[in-house]
A and B are shown apart, each in its own frame.
Chain A
């Protein structure tokens, strides 16, 4: 009846996950009861869960990322605490639990923090920057988000029902095969990634089509803001890379469920094929995360230097070069496979070549700052912190791209330090920069500046205190994924890294406080102009938060830095009083399709993990029924009449003008 699932799946002998899960459950219940008592359910259902508005979906993606960042961060704290004490002792966590922690940490941070964070920012910002009213496929957008949430949910269910993978974040076979991992851990891993991977692919198709086919009048490719370019490159990579992940995990699933022999040790299976396939996805994935972050920094550096981006066209070229070369370096993740000096040389050189366009970008940002009037607001702090940190990470990357050096450093903590250096330095800093930069656009008020600076300094310093010691320990020969150790020279570095983790945790607490303080003081932080940073691209030309239709009249773009031009022209010719010609606007109707799809995907994923076959069938039938019902709909759009558009727009303009007058009076 319930397949492999019975009461023994609940890990009663391990108090840590149970207590953690109990706390989370209590919090969720409390929130649900609070929302129920206050009568917020209809609002949440109609305005958020079924919303197909790209701005709302973007916000939900970022929210998911922030929640999962806490989960992944707690895993990180547990690992660093373990290693600070596990010198000639067993520490807090037994090996089978410790292995789950580092596997879950990596999986969560990449798939359920990095991905939703950057996809959320792209969803929120790209249609606004392109001057259009929505993405190409609004309902599919919602499906994509909810499938990602399903994956995250399954990973968290594994905390209390069963176990998570103990195989590391990429579940290398033969360890991940049934023979060596008979439990459900790897199944949680594969199914949550299959489902969320489909969600990511949907988001990728959607955003590529949006950038290529939906741009406002006059928005030629070479007038697009840099963030749109990096979005295009990143989503092209999603389309080309995520199917590889899907196929590879499918093969692993077939091995585990039906006794196939893709990666097994028997009957001719080839586990190194898994390495090749998974890294053919995995290396582009690094750039799927990093390129949007580069885009955020391009926007931030140019805005806060009050200058147009230096070398715009070289930046476009560098972005697209990275997009292509990122597919030609995957083998550097396993130089030690023994492919021979020729193959290793080719991939080593390719890995060094990819540093060139990245270097071009660094110089472009530096020259954008050169001679600019720089304002060190929080997003700019993240950008400068990124440039310093990322150069160090990039250089250690070029170091491990040298095959002979890699033979010594492979799977050591040096490598762990390197990829945290680039991923935290670029992706996390970029995500935080974007979060602070576009928060006022999404919600209509800015985040508190001093708390933002506190977040930055604790995270920035905490990062160095955590990861520079890991470089050192790696040089001393410490390998990754160790549950305990008995080499005395490593001990001080592990303690130092533990101290750094405390600093970074304080950064996280500051981040939560910043949000709380900002919400409480939202009236004094209110942004009435729609343009709190003196921005240059079109998202700043509409109100904060934008109306559901984004732009009352679709903007007409005549050059780069479209909004900067509009502002200059308006000041020059005082055209601001000119009343545009308002028309009816068609907008997509909200739809529960995404949520229902995700519900059935969760049912099916969970049933697959526990071999509950009738429930799998139920999930499949439900998913198909949802598809047919969605396809059967008659009215997927509604019309906002011109009078209503005019009313909203006039109110916005009046508010904005009042705010500008207020700002100009003292001067």
Chain B
């Protein structure tokens, strides 16, 4: 008995943290599912941003490696890029509206918001595809120089993300249509919204680093 008491006193709190560890700051237990899902998705988005940062780094390293070919200032059409930016930022706004509608369980407004988001996203992709096709037609495709390889990869990777986002968006429209605002569907909506807004953050980076700085070289 005394032995057990002693061992508890000696080993139960080996670093004499009793004052530090107890009290109102104690941990409440596992977080609710909504928090866990959104948190995990945030971490995934961080990893995605790390991946983009590699493509940004590659672009920065290869920016001047034009191999005698055209440089950014000769190629970029800032007016088209401005239109793309407008489409993407507006789509984020309508995505936000759709999420507000989802919060108040308004299916009609949610579907309208998502549909508009989808159209704006497709508009963005169309402009980007036109830009790429135009560059290739002018002999400035990704195989022309290291600079253009890096440009097409970075911007194309973002475009690929937008395309995947649109597929996901359509899935989410169908899910809400078929299943309503169930708890698990709402958790996925939360993740989708995070994803869509993260694409904006990356686009802001692309707009500044690739197009604005690129036009200056």
Contact = CB atoms under 8 A, between A and B. Distances in A.
Contacts of A268: 62, 65-67, 145-147
Contacts, number: 175
Interface residues of B, number: 58
A243 B43 CA distance: 12
Nearest to B22: A558
Interface string B163-187: 0000100010001000100001000
B86 interface: no
A312 interface: yes
B27 to A, nearest CB: 5
Contacts of A254: 142, 149, 153
A620 to B, nearest CB: 11
B36 A136 contact: yes
A201 B49 CA distance: 13
Interface in A75-113: none
Given A136-B36, A268-B67, A215 B8 contact: no
A214 B30 contact: yes
Given A262-B149, A268-B145, A312-B15, A215 B67 contact: no
B39 interface: yes
Interface stretch (B52-60, B87-95, B97-105, B114-122): B52-60
A398 interface: no
B137 interface: no
27 contacts: A208-B43, A213-B30, A214-B36, A218-B26, A218-B27, A219-B27, A222-B21, A240-B47, A242-B47, A243-B48, A247-B55, A254-B149, A260-B143, A261-B65, A261-B146, A264-B146, A267-B145, A273-B58, A273-B61, A307-B11, A308-B15, A560-B13, A560-B14, A564-B12, A565-B12, A568-B12, A569-B12
A239 B43 contact: yes
A542 B67 CA distance: 65
Nearest to B182: A634
Contacts of A572: 1, 4-5, 8
Interface in A345-385: none
Contacts of B66: 268
A277 B21 contact: no
B197 interface: no
B29 A628 contact: no
Contacts of A554: 29
Contacts of A209: 36, 39-40, 43
A559 B43 contact: no
Contacts of B12: 559, 561, 564-565, 568-569
Contact of A244 (B50, B65, B67, B143): B50
B46 interface: yes
Interface string A208-236: 11001111111110110000000000000
Interface of A: 132, 136-137, 201, 204-206, 208-209, 212-220, 222-223, 239-240, 242-244, 246-248, 250-251, 254-255, 258-262, 264, 266-270, 273, 277, 307-308, 312-313, 554, 557-561, 564-565, 568-569, 571-572, 624, 628, 631-632, 634, 636
B99 to A, nearest CB: 18
Contacts of B26: 217-218, 220
A136 B40 contact: yes
A213 B66 CA distance: 48
A220 to B, nearest CB: 5
Contacts of A214: 30-31, 36
B136 to A, nearest CB: 12
B36 A269 contact: no
Given A217-B26, A308-B14, A565-B11, 8 more contacts: A218-B29, A243-B47, A244-B54, A312-B15, A313-B15, A560-B15, A568-B8, A569-B12
A559 B50 contact: no
Contacts of A569: 8, 12
Nearest to A268: B65
